[in-house]
A and B are shown apart, each in its own frame.
Chain A
Amino acid sequence: MGAVLRCSGLRKAFGDIQAVDDVGFEIAPGETYGLLGPNGAGKTTSISMIAGLLHPDAGEIEVLGTRMTPRALDAKAAVGLVPQDLAIYPDLTARENLHFFGRLQHMSRHDVRARSDEILEVIGLRERSDDRAGEFSGGMKRRLNIGIGLLHQPRLLILDEPTVGVDPQSRNAILESVEALAVEGLAVLYTTHYMEEAERLCRRIAIVDQGRIVAEGTRRELIDTISEQDIVRLKVAGDVHAAAVACDALPSVSSADAEDDEVVCLLDQAASSLPALLAAVSSVDASVVGVEVREPDLEDVFLYLTGRALRD
């Protein structure tokens, strides 16, 4: 089956800042594709172009084979957008919000009514459907925000950081919904800076930094980019930065970075290298008060590829 979304060579600059630089990927039906990167990496700019909100300086975007432009109404109709910021009218009820956006999607009154009932059930707002959205909790607003994006049964759902500011219970409900949608065959483009969400939901993940995709693949493929190495986290009392520099100088260490009161080291053969690490920390007037050895995750991959943590 052909790709639902195909984009290539996307570029967008705002003045001197290159927000998006040569971004391209495809998403197949039923696939959840993740854009993982810190705030300001260019994720929202990328999806703004894909959803037809922003004109790319260069590159191509096709949704179901149709080139995306402001007047490509068929392409737009195939996309459901859930913006990062809440996009609801606080003075309208949940049902009125759904009704308005459904009608904008050229749904008939009857279809909007029927589909609104379904969506309200799915997002757990059936009982509050006639309450104004402004009276909802943050989590309920988020769920309504997502429900509007799903209302017209799009072929491609774009979720831009949908769990930001959401309580753990609502967050879990959102992630479960996205998993269920993918099972139903919906293509999902999911942006996040939460590694766990990307690992849980996305079949393929693009790691984005400073407007560029620095790595792309499945979770396993991405972790394999840092080979068979281990992560050693040393909790340090004393000068953490000096300790990181001392560790980084060891031949067996690929990288060592200071993170709060820890030194995070990527290295081969953690067990045999541990004594040298402890010695290196001691040599700079610091001491190790805790050690954790584990397999790398996407956060470590990002750190390895960019030299910065995802939360930076």
Chain B
Amino acid sequence: MLRAAGLILVKDTRLRVRDRSVWLFAFVVPIGMTFLFSSIFPDTGAIELRAGVVDLDGGEVAAGFVEGVVPALADADVLTEVGFDSEEDARARVTEGEVDAAWVLPAGFSEDVLAGGDARIEVLVAAGRTLPGELARGVADAYARRIEQAGLAVTVQGVLTGGPPDPQLIGAIAAAAADTEELVRVTTDLADRGQPLDAVSYLAAGMAAFFVFFAVQFGVTGLLEERQFGTMSRLLAAPIAPGAIHLGKLLGAFLLGVTSMAVLAVASQQLLGADWGPAPGVAILIVAIVLAAIGVMSLVALFAHTAEQASNFQAVVAVVLGLTGGVFVPVPGDIAALRIITAVSPHGWFLRGLNELSASGQWTTVLPAAGAILLFGAVTAVPAVVVQRRRSSW
């Protein structure tokens, strides 16, 4: 069986070498896209925020934000703090795009919190500054949540006792407002999107993972192509095990996928200074994502009648999985819904695995992500194989 599969693999390789579209999808376009994106978004790995505070409250709780949180963020190199003369000044400068964002602490903010009301911080965001704006909102939300939790205790105490707020609880609110360490940690995570990978490495790996789903198409749709050429009948009539045909095709897809990703990893390292992390871990993730791509694309191909139709279906699936996996724009890790969406994309797990690999430097840290990616491959490949065997069996 292996000999026949090898012959089919060699024949397919010869055909692919003569087919320029393979070179485009497997090598040229992903490298080109990485170049393009890295020049457009040179700092997507770490977001810089130019912002300041307008304190219309002047109370104890507001002071926690103005004197505690904001300087701490500046010290952590997340924030370049700017001063505003007034709320109007802040609005004008944000509108003009001179600064990314402004936090407005409304009058009565501290009193509202102590009375158990909503702790609302208004966030002004400059147009087109989506990611810094998101970061500014994240800071405000995190601070407000922290303060509200403490304020809730004051409210409960007031309802139960009917008396004035317990000075101890008010002290707790002040302590929470002043405790910037945890908030700064969350914020810096937000700022670097939780990506230990630098921007270029992230882009290169994302593009490689995205386009490998296109590259493996050429092997996966091979059976449909054989039918289109009319050669399937000759292959089935040849004195070879029927499984050899499938094996040859899948081997071709696997080798093309792995080669494509390996070339991209090396090329992005040599040409763009990217670093995907220690080689053993990268290799494990590459093998896993290529197998998952073969599984997913094999399943999608079942719904097509021609190679062209299969390519169209597969392109749609590849784009959706790529987008949800965050190959173009990193998916914020602090939003639960987005985290769940990312988790149903092998691309998301691939990038997560590389992040963990990059952060730890230990190849074993990729194993959970690799396992999740392989699970995608298995879940999609099993029905594909079963149906394909049924279709081509006697």
Contact = CB atoms under 8 A, between A and B. Distances in A.
Greatest chain B CB density within 10 A among A55, A74, A90, A104 is at A104
B242 A105 contact: no
A81 B230 CA distance: 12
B394 A104 contact: no
A32 to B, nearest CB: 20
Given A81-B234, A103-B7, A70 B393 contact: yes
Contacts of B240: 73, 104
A76 interface: yes
Interface residues of A, number: 32
Given A87-B230, A88-B231, A104-B4, A79 B237 contact: yes
B231 A104 contact: no
Contact of B7 (A83, A85, A90, A100): A100
Nearest to B17: A91
Nearest to B241: A71
Interface stretch (A45-53, A170-178, A195-203, A257-265): A45-53
Contact of A83 (B4, B14, B230): B230
Nearest to A85: B230
B15 interface: yes
B303 interface: no
A104 B6 CA distance: 10
Nearest to A51: B237
A70 B242 CA distance: 7
B18 A91 contact: yes
Contacts of B4: 104
A76 B238 contact: yes
A90 B229 CA distance: 8
Given A89-B229, A90-B229, A91-B18, A148 B237 contact: no
A55 B392 CA distance: 10
Interface in B27-63: none
A105 B238 contact: yes
B11 interface: yes
A181 to B, nearest CB: 18
Given A73-B240, A76-B239, A81 B233 contact: yes
Contact of B230 (A69, A76, A86, A92): A86
Interface in B235-265: 235-242
Contacts of B18: 91
Given A55-B394, A92-B11, A87 B238 contact: no
Contacts of A74: 239
A135 to B, nearest CB: 13
B89 interface: no
Given A91-B15, A148-B234, 6 more contacts: A52-B236, A53-B233, A83-B234, A87-B229, A88-B231, A89-B231
24 contacts: A48-B233, A51-B237, A54-B394, A55-B394, A70-B236, A70-B394, A73-B240, A76-B239, A79-B237, A81-B234, A86-B230, A87-B231, A87-B233, A88-B231, A89-B15, A89-B229, A89-B231, A90-B229, A92-B11, A100-B7, A104-B4, A104-B7, A104-B238, A105-B238
Interface of B: 4, 7, 11, 14-15, 18-19, 229-231, 233-242, 393-394
